[in-house]
Amino acid sequence: MTGKRLYGIRGATVVENTASSIHEQIERMCSSLFRENGIQAGDIVSIQFTVTQDLDALNPAAALRRSDCGMDISSCALFCAAEPCVKGSLQHVIRILVTAYLEQGTILKHIYQNGAEILRPDFVPQK
């Protein structure tokens, strides 16, 4: 069977609580996620971000809108929420969930970077 199906592609990055760090890391993470998974703007249903409680310098959705992520995402639905506060959890983290239509059977490449690899070592390529 061929055709497209709906997928959820995940990622996370660790940032400093500055507008420049958030902008830079969101652009880097999203560019990689879109490129590595062959995602086009028309494939995207929505992009959801969560941020840990210690990040307040810039909304990651606004950072993505201002970024050069390799495609025009101006018509994509973006949403941002606070990550639940859990004792001992990694701080300064932005997580992403991209819901997109991709070819059935696509092998997803989740992007965890800049220290966030410890959140999902099973998604990080072994070197």
Query: How would residue 84 be classed by pLDDT, with cut points 50, 70 and 90?
Result: very high
For the chain, the structural domain boundaries read 4-121
What does the pLDDT read at residue 25? 97
What's the distance, CA 55 to chain centroid? 16
What does the pLDDT read at residue 24? 97
Q: Is the pLDDT of residue 126 over 70?
A: no
What does the pLDDT read at residue 121? 74
DSSP state of 80: E
* Two tokens, residue 19: 């507008």
Q: Who's near 30: CB < 8 A, 6+ residues apart?
A: 64, 67, 69, 96
* Two tokens, residue 57: 């310098």
Domain 4-121's class? alpha beta
